[in-house]
């Protein structure tokens, strides 16, 4: 199976926490966020857990695992771009439609 690229932190992180997508099958998540501090990330992960009725600890742990492994990218900060896709998972960056900010 090809590794998947997530295109929405708020949609893809819950699927990883719930096991719908295996961590080993997730290459990275291209988040639409622009966080620069650990408290911002912690609050984002906590909010995702609350909105999806997930265990807060599991969600924060999974989120920080991805972040520490370099598997969360923020194109708004690094590329000055955002993506415009109707799906949340793709198997190639070639399938991502990019827009300039």
**What distance lies between CA 25 and its chain's CA centroid?**
13
Letter string b/e over residues 42-81, b meaning 16 or more CB atoms within 10 A of that residue's CB: eebbeebbeeeebeeeebbebbeebbeeeebbbbbeeeee
Helix axes 56-68, 9-17, angle to 10 degrees: 110
For the stretch 8-62, pLDDT in tens is 999 999 999 999 999 999 999 999 999 999 999 999 999 999 999 999 999 999 9
pTM attached to this predicted model: 0.92
> What are the residue ranges spanned by the domains of the chain?
4-100
């Amino acid at each position: 199976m090809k590794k998947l690229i997530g295109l929405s932190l708020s949609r893809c992180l819950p699927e990883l926490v719930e096991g719908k997508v295996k961590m080993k099958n997730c290459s990275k998540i291209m988040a639409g966020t622009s966080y620069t501090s650990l408290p911002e990330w912690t609050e984002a992960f906590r909010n995702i857990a609350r909105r999806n009725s997930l265990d807060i600890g599991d969600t924060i742990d999974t989120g920080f695992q991805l972040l520490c492994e370099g598997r969360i990218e923020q194109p708004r900060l690094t590329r000055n771009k955002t993506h415009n896709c109707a799906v949340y998972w793709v198997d190639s960056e070639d399938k991502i439609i990019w827009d300039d900010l």
